[in-house]
Amino acid sequence: MIYLDNAATTKPNEESVRAAEKFILSEYYNPSALYAEGYNLHLEIKKARSNLLSLIADDEKYSLIFTSGGTEADNQAIFCGGKRGNVVTTYGEHAAVFAAMSELKLRGTEVRFADLNADGSVNVEKLLSLVDGNTSLVSVIHVNNETGAINDVNSIAAQVKIKNGRTLFHSDGVQAFGKLPFKLSSFVDLYSVSAHKIGGIKGCGALIKRKQTVIKPYIYGGGQEAGLRSGTENVFAIKCFEHAAINKYRNLKSDYEKVCRLNKILISKLDNSLFKVLSSDKASPYIISVIADGLRGETVMHELNDRGLIIGTGSACSSNSKKRYSRVLLACGVKENMADGALRISFSAENTAHEIEEAAGIMNTVVKNRKDIMA
């Protein structure tokens, strides 16, 4: 089986799981307990928090709140940051942001959506035109999870602050963290990350917060995470996240270069008479969005699966939606009949060139056969 749906989830890093397994098998105590064993786990979480922060931000200026994943981190940023006036986001957001913004709108908050460019990146000029003196929050995805388009969130955040210095700036960094070389600037107030996208396990993520940024909790209870996220911490998942992230950043440059090569191999091997590539050459190399024109992507995906190739048709987190067409691709200007044939291929540094060549061959064969049948 060839697995190329790494934007949906990645295989847990075995070394990271082994390094953390003692925190579920033997050192299973409550990290909020006052006895020594519990306090020692509190120190382990503190260490993980510091190590994760150091990979992407200045730990003197930023703090980190552990959550159950990227979705919770996004929701906390939006519901606890967008408290007054209007909020601004884009049509290219992950469902965790888009649905939360839609809920804010139902609750009476004015939500403004910025248009996208053809590659899925936000039209920055349009976005800035929506920001005014009453804007409490702006949220812009770092890497689009369907097309791989990269938004320069540090630059966008700086421009937002020029228009309104009181506006909080949030970015969903789930598809960027551990994959792109990047450090948060002081203009970014909130940044969401997830463990299972980089070799950690599902059920763990974090909201990185500028220390001077004031937000309220999203989940109340025992007051864990400095009072900002109640609930007994999942020490095993947190430590696994820490080890996986350190491993990813240790190999960030070499992994990025390898995935760039894999990306180019796939594009060169796909039959351009069968597929249209939507992702630009400036996109994250980890994600390629293509269209099999005239076919339904879901049908093609299942046939590829039968032949030993796993890819996606878009965001896995939107698979339960009743809407047939990707709202992100439609916002990019893709017509419905084209959007119906959308497929998403997403890489890991664990993939090999041989796998990618074989995957391209399978894709070409399946799409050609289906088109021949329909002719």
Would you please indicate which residues are annotated as catalytic (active-site) residues?
Answer: 317
State the DSSP H helix or E strand holding residue 246, giving kind and residue range, or none if neither.
helix 235-250
* Distance between CA atoms of residues 149 and 144, nearest Å: 5
Which residues, including other chains, have CB under 8 Å from residue 99's CB and lie 6 or more apart? none
Distance of CA 237 to the CA centre of its chain: 18
Residue 66's φ and ψ, nearest 5 degrees, are: -75, 135
* Distance between CA atoms of residues 20 and 314, nearest Å: 32
* Distance between CA atoms of residues 141 and 315, nearest Å: 14
- Secondary structure (DSSP) of 326-362: -HHHHHTT--HHHHTTEEEEE--TT--HHHHHHHHHH
**Strand segments (E) across 7-115:** 62-67, 86-90, 110-114
* Distance between CA atoms of residues 90 and 113, nearest Å: 5
